[in-house]
Amino acid sequence: MSQVKSGDKVKVHYHGKLTSGETFDSSAGREPLEFEVGSGSVIPGFDQGVTGMAIGEKKTINIPFDEAYGPRNPEMVIEMPKERFPQDMEIEVGMPIGMSDGQGQQFQVTVVEIKEDVVMLDANHPLAGQDLIFDLELVEIVGGSPLIIMP
C-alpha cells in the first residue's frame, strides 16, 4: 500500500482543535482538503503529520505552535487613531478588519481594545502562539508532481 511522501498531492479530511478542545476548523460537510505535501501550502506540522499515512488511515496529530502559525509577536499589536476609521463605523472588540499596507498588500487585523483616542489592533494570525490538534483521515493520494529530468 502506498504511503504519502513529499511531492504527493493528497486529499485529507481534518478536524482542527485547540488544546482546550475547541474546534477552530473542520472539513466536515465539505470536500476534503487537497494540497501538495512539502509545497508550503499548509503549516509545516500538517505536512509532517500526513507524511507516511496510507489511504483510509486515521490519526490524531499534535502540532506545537512553532510548527503551526508561530509565536505571538507583541510588535504586531498596533495603535490606530480613532480618527482614521470611518465615522459611521461601529468598532467592537473581536471585530476583524481588512487593511492594506502602502504596497497594496492585504491583511487582516483584529480589534483587541478600544481606548479613548486609539484602537488597539492585533495583526498576529488568530492561531499564533497556539498548539493545535488535528484528527486526520487520508482520503486519497492524487499523485505526485511530474519529475522533470534535464539532460
How do the domains of the chain map onto residue ranges?
A: 8-70+127-144, 76-122
CA-angle at 6, arms to 30 and 12, nearest 5°: 15
pLDDT at 105: 84
> Is pLDDT of 101 > 70?
yes
Q: Can you name the CATH fold of 76-122?
A: Thrombin, subunit H (2.40.10)
pLDDT at 66: 95
Q: Can you name the CATH fold of 8-70+127-144?
A: Chitinase A; domain 3 (3.10.50)
pLDDT at 137: 97
Q: What would the pLDDT profile of 38-91 be if each residue is shown by its tens digit? A: 999 999 999 999 999 999 999 999 999 999 999 999 999 999 999 998 889 999
Considering Cα of 87, then 93, then 95, then 100, what sign does the dihedral take?
positive
